[in-house]
Amino acid sequence: MKECDPFAVSQTLMARIQKGAFLTVKAGESLNAMTIGWGLIGIIWQRPVFMVAVRDSRHTFTIIEKASDFTVSVPTSDMKEALMFCGTKSGRNVDKFEALGLVPMAAKQTVSPVIKLKGIHLECLIRFRAPMNPALLDKALEELYPAKDYHTLYFGEIVACYETDAS
Amino acid sequence: MKECDPFAVSQTLMARIQKGAFLTVKAGESLNAMTIGWGLIGIIWQRPVFMVAVRDSRHTFTIIEKASDFTVSVPTSDMKEALMFCGTKSGRNVDKFEALGLVPMAAKQTVSPVIKLKGIHLECLIRFRAPMNPALLDKALEELYPAKDYHTLYFGEIVACYETDAS
* Confidence band, pLDDT 50/70/90 cuts, at residue A95: confident
Phi-psi region of A46 (alpha: psi -120 to 50; beta: other; left: phi over 0): left
Of the listed ranges A5-14, A122-131, B10-19, B92-101, the least confidently predicted one is B92-101
Please report the pLDDT score of residue A101 as a whole number. Answer: 82
The answer to whether residue A132 scores a pLDDT higher than 90 is yes
The predicted model gives B158-163 an average pLDDT of 98
Residues from chain A that touch B51, judged by Cβ atoms under 8 A, are: 40, 42, 44, 51
Radius of gyration of chain B (CA): 15
Contacts of B140 in chain A (CB under 8 A): 127
pLDDT at A43: 97
CB contact under 8 A, A41 and B42: yes
According to the model, what pLDDT value does residue B82 have?
Answer: 83
Domain boundaries, chain B: 2-164
Is the pLDDT assigned to residue A167 strictly greater than 70? no
Q: Does A53 touch chain B (CB under 8 A)?
A: yes
Tell me which of A3-7, B83-87, B92-96 is least confident: B83-87
pLDDT (tens digit, 9 = 90+) per residue, B126-158?
A: 999 999 999 999 999 999 999 999 999 999 999
Rounded to two decimals, what is the model's pTM? 0.95
Predicted confidence (pLDDT) per residue in A135-164, tens digit: 999 999 999 999 999 999 999 999 999 999
Rounded to the nearest 10 degrees, the angle between the axes of helix B10-17 and helix A10-17 is 130
Position A91 scores a pLDDT of 84
CB B13 within 8 A of CB B120: yes
Residues in B touching A152 (Cβ below 8 Å): none
Residues A52-77 have a mean pLDDT of 96
Query: pLDDT at residue B167 above 80?
Result: no
Answer for the pair B107, B123: CB distance below 8 angstroms, yes or no: yes
CB pairs under 8 A between A and B: 113
pLDDT band at A83 (very low <50, low <70, confident <90, very high): confident
How far apart, in whole angstroms, are the C-alpha atoms of residue B70 and residue A150? 24
- Of 3.40.50.2300, 2.30.110.10, 3.10.450.50, 1.10.357.10, the CATH number of A2-164 is 2.30.110.10
Mean pLDDT of chain A: 94
Cα gap A11→A81, rounded to integer Å: 24
For residues A33 and A97, is the Cβ–Cβ distance under 8 A?
A: yes
Percentage with pLDDT > 90 across chain B: 82
CA distance B155 to B167: 28
Q: Report, as an integer, the average pLDDT of A29-43.
A: 95
